[in-house]
Amino acid sequence: MIPGSSEQRPRPTDPVQLSDQAANLVQEKLGAGEEILHVYNTDMLMTGQYGTEWLVLTPKQVMAVRENEITALPLVSMENISVIDFQGNSILRVIAEHQAYDLVRFTRTLANNFAGVPLLMEELAQRAAHDDRVLVDRSERWKAKSRHTHRCPKCGGVIPRRHRVCLACLNKRKLLVRLTSYVVPHMRLAITASILLVVTTVIGLLSPLIMRSIMDSVLVPATQAVMQGNEVVAVIAEGSANSNDILARLLSPLAQPGTFSLLALLCALLFFSHTTAAALEAWRHFIISRLGQVITFTIRNHMYAHLQKLSLSYFTREDTGRIMQRVTNDVRRLQDFLSNGLQDVVQDIIKLASIVTMLLMMSPKLTLMIMIPTPFLIITTIWFSRKLRRVYMALWKRYDGVSSILADTIPGMRVVKAFAQEEREVARFEERSSDLLSGELGAAKINSVYGPLMGTITYIPTVMIWLLGGMRVMDGTLSIGDLTAFNVYMQQFYQPVRNLCNLNRRFQQTASSAERVFDVLDTEPEVQDGVTLPAMPPLKGRVEFRNVTFGYEPGAPVLKNLNFTVEPGEMIGLAGHSGAGKSTLINMITAFYTADDGTVLVDDVDISQVDPKSLRSQIGVVLQDPFLFNGTIAANIAYGKPDASRQEIIAAAKAANAHEFIIRFPDGYDTQVGERGARLSGGERQRLAIARAILKDPKILILDEATASVDTETEAKIQEALERLIHGRTTFAIAHRLSTLRNANRLFILEHGEIAEMGTHDELINKPDGIYARLVNIQSELAKVKVV
Amino acid sequence: MPGTTPWRAAVNSHASATSLATKLFAELDAIPEDSIEARLNNRNELVLTIGEDTYENVRLIRCFPRSDKQRHIAVVDADDNEIGIIEDLAKCRPETRQLLEKLLDIAYHIPQIKKINKITMRGFIPVWNVETDRGHHVFELRSRRELVKIDDRILLRDADGNNYEIENYKALDKHSRALIEQEI
């Protein structure tokens, strides 16, 4: 490839096309009537150099096409097809007739394009073997499921880190219209604010006019009269006063031009107009703040209510911090836009338009001439703000470097001193610090230039007004008052121009915030509004998995084709290595995730067809680190049954072996547990969670590592409580400490998403080479060590 | 298990350690480079023969993928159990070394940037137009903060998770260096 030839990075969504040479190679390999089904292009060669090769799929063959070379393999011969991921690139490897072939190699950029290829090839191979099969292309579904990408699903462009939405695909106008729709219910407030806005802006523009009147109708006639030694009235009669001066003419019944009373009147008017504008501005500000707050309130509550309706998989997919940021920061930014941003824009436009009109009315020629520097001003403003942003970004990074050293070493001072590394830390700090210094100096340079330069540019019109305007005053075509008003207007002219230069950036930020907020609001809730699924009838406790397959990511099923039935009252122990799929299995029973294939049945009802809330209200869960809410112990026990009586709460606590430690607290059941139960120990929290489950009296019980993080004595107490709880309920218990599963009716040993062993403790322990037997052995070895 | 295989016993007796850590390393981890034979089986998996022992389907992991690519290569089996560490690829037999380097090159695809043609901003996204040791390339970052500077070395990660490296930015040509210095 010629250096610098391709401007655009090839995007995953780009259309695929075979080169002529490659197409010829493929043609030679095609059989009669065989057509090309899919073509995938790569972005690197097998050698590791950048370039393009192709993967071609037909109903019968797969072909890897390179420059001058083609590898074609019949699909029926495939024994294994997989994408093997490495750092920065992946290989599609197939094994055909005991021989591996590395077909194509591609970078991470195309990873999603190839994610579904092995599945698709398997389907094609099966269809090639049995002609009657209908092709189900599941690869698209995997692709849709994959979220490990920072590219826009629509255009394939990169999504900027800070924005997290594709700015190219944002329909900004639509977003802003939708945003504005939140204003509609508060139309009266909005209209009042807008009227006030126009009035204050117009009043604000009056003062230069008043100043003009002072000049033309008071000061000039008076000074001329003094110089000529005449009466002022005579001068007026000569017509030297500005005939354009509407204000003076309006006031003429009250005071004559050139008199002190007119001066006093005009000054009073000046003062009055300013105070009125200020008072109205204060009123408008209050209305706008109120409007903004009311709207924020609506959006925030709307969002929180919607979040509660979303499925758990949304929360595992999205980072908690980001969701919280959306509820707080993004909503606040919207408020700022709705209340200040919109009005600022309107205000700036009104101001600019009326200033230009005023100036044109006074002197069109002069106005056009002094507008000449405006484009320069706009260009420099935009150029400088870009430059400044760049510099400050770099500066910010260096600041980060310095503060990260501080954050590192100050809390770690003990270690620094213990290893006698003070001098090295000082040297390290000085290096970063000097980086920062040079950055600061660079920024200071630009900043120092910025102010004076902008000042100079905006000063040019002032000079021009004095020069050109002065000439006009001298030849009598412009009054001194006009000249003064011109000057004052020009000073007011540049601020709105500068604001409007930054408008695009402001809009963009708001649009991306709006997109993030609406993204939450538009995420489909677990149960569609309006759609009512039937409630789960009271449970007996029978659970059945029929061919259940589920995965979080494409090509990596966590549960593979599970089949089992659990009778009411049975206790099932789940064991296996971490990552074997134990927790996922449990989350399928509570309908937190929906099976990709197959069905989960409770009491012979497909749980995807009932209201998940009604199902969960009948299932009890005790987790490894139970989550307590900030509140009293009693409230936490009664979380699943808020109307429980005090006796019920005490009875549940007793059954959970929690009563004795609860009454030892000075506040007993009214003890505040602190945020997330911080004031309680792990074992205490655990027993509260068990009491919570006992109070709820569920027919199905789930214990996820319920005794993992407590000492032996506490464990015995919890174990005793659990046995009381388990009695008569269908129970699924996950445990790493296998001794806790001894009472289970059956044990399921999971391995790589499949049930590798199933049976009672006694059956499994005696199985030679069994996974369970091995795990138990290792644990009893460890136990012996502990005893020693 | 350490110390049970014949090649380990051989290492143990030769360990002439200077510090405690070096001694422990030689005893527990080091694989004698000259005793390694490498080949691919017909499933394209790496098979290592170390002295008398043969290990099927092993994987190579660089302990210092950023700062030392030729040394400290961990060898693990299919279940991620470590077999040992190859101290220095350069000490391996030439044909072994050639194969291992080829596999490492696939496992760690990190193009070296040799020249920067330009860095443009498309909206908020920096687009880098560069020449690498793998040819001309254009890539996009998610923001202007995606580069890490370790002394004079610069590491980049693009929007798709591909890594790039500039070994020593001060050794680049003047134009490239000026572009880089605006970004760090």
pLDDT per position as a tens digit, B59-105: 999 988 878 888 889 999 888 888 889 989 999 999 999 999 999 99
What's the start-to-end Cα distance of chain A, in Å? 70
Tokens representing A583 are 């927790």
A91 contact B CB<8A = yes
Q: Do A161 and B143 touch (CB under 8 A)?
A: yes
Residue among A4, A102, A160 whose CB faces B142 most closely: A160
Task: Tell me how far apart the alpha carbons of residues A736 and A706 are, in angstroms, rounded to a whole number.
Answer: 10
What architecture does CATH give domain A540-617+736-788?
3-Layer(aba) Sandwich (3.40)
What CA–CA distances, in Å, run from B62 to A86, A698, B71, B79, B105? 12, 52, 8, 17, 11
Q: Using a CB-CB distance cutoff of 8 angstroms, which residues of chain A are in contact with residue B173?
A: none
Nearest by Cα to B110 from B154, B171, B44: B154
Instruction: Return the minimum-mean-pLDDT range out of A241-255, A439-453, A496-510, A752-766.
Output: A241-255
**Chain-centre distance for alpha carbon B40:** 20
Tokens representing A171 are 């329909």
Residue among B110, B125, B131 whose CB faces A88 most closely: B110
pLDDT confidence of B1, banded at 50, 70, 90? very low
For chain A, state the CA radius of gyration: 39
Q: Using a CB-CB distance cutoff of 8 angstroms, which residues of chain A are in contact with residue B132?
A: 50
How many CB atoms are located within 10 Å of the residue A693 CB?
A: 27
Tokens representing A640 are 């699943």
Strand partners, A702: A621, A732
Strand partners, B48: B38, B55
With contact defined as beta carbons under 8 Å apart, do A562 and A755 qualify? yes
A interface test, pick of B142, B147, B154, B179 with most A CB neighbours within 10 Å: B142
Q: For helices A503-522 and A260-309, give the axis angle rounded to 10 degrees.
A: 30
Q: Do A88 and B137 touch (CB under 8 A)?
A: no
> Chain A neighbours among B 44-63 (CB < 8 Å)?
44-45
More confident residue, A156 or A419: A419
Q: Do A100 and B110 touch (CB under 8 A)?
A: no
Strand partners, A549: A597
pLDDT given at position A230:
63
With contact defined as beta carbons under 8 Å apart, do A92 and A117 qualify? yes
Residue among B134, B136, B144 whose CB faces A48 most closely: B134
pLDDT given at position A555:
62
A208-219 pLDDT, tens digit per residue, is: 888 888 888 888
pLDDT confidence of B3, banded at 50, 70, 90? very low
A3-47 pLDDT, tens digit per residue, is: 333 445 556 666 777 888 888 888 888 888 888 888 898 999 998
B151 contact A CB<8A = no
A49 contact B CB<8A = yes
A563-578 pLDDT, tens digit per residue, is: 999 999 899 999 888 7
So what CATH class is A184-519?
mainly alpha
A681 burial via Cβ count (<10 Å: 0-12, 13-18, 19+) = middle
A332-352 pLDDT, tens digit per residue, is: 888 888 777 878 888 888 888
Task: Tell me how far apart the alpha carbons of residues A61 and A35 are, in angstroms, rounded to a whole number.
Answer: 10
Q: Do A9 and B127 touch (CB under 8 A)?
A: yes
So what CATH class is A20-145?
mainly beta
Task: Tell me how far apart the alpha carbons of residues A543 and A589 are, in angstroms, rounded to a whole number.
Answer: 8
**Chain-centre distance for alpha carbon A254:** 65
What's the start-to-end Cα distance of chain B, in Å? 47
What CA–CA distances, in Å, run from A286 to A292, A346, A621? 10, 18, 50
| Kind of pairing between the strands at B82-88 and B30-31 | parallel
| Kind of pairing between the strands at A730-734 and A571-575 | parallel
Task: Tell me how far apart the alpha carbons of residues A648 and A664 are, in angstroms, rounded to a whole number.
Answer: 19
More confident residue, A706 or A51: A51
* Percentage of residues in chain A having pLDDT higher than 90: 8
Task: Tell me how far apart the alpha carbons of residues A776 and A573 are, in angstroms, rounded to a whole number.
Answer: 14
Q: Which residue of A has its CA nearest to B45?
A: A100
Question: What backbone phi and psi angles, to 5 degrees, belong to B3?
Answer: 80, 0
B144 contact A CB<8A = yes
| Burial annotation A159-193 (CB, 10 A radius, 16+ → b, else e) | bbbebbbbbeebebeebbeebeebbeebeebbeeb
Is the pLDDT at B7 greater than 80? The verdict is: no
Task: Tell me how far apart the alpha carbons of residues A198 and B130 are, in angstroms, rounded to a whole number.
Answer: 53
**Chain-centre distance for alpha carbon B125:** 29
Q: Using a CB-CB distance cutoff of 8 angstroms, which residues of chain A are in contact with residue B183?
A: 394
B21-30 pLDDT, tens digit per residue, is: 777 777 777 8
**Chain-centre distance for alpha carbon A616:** 29
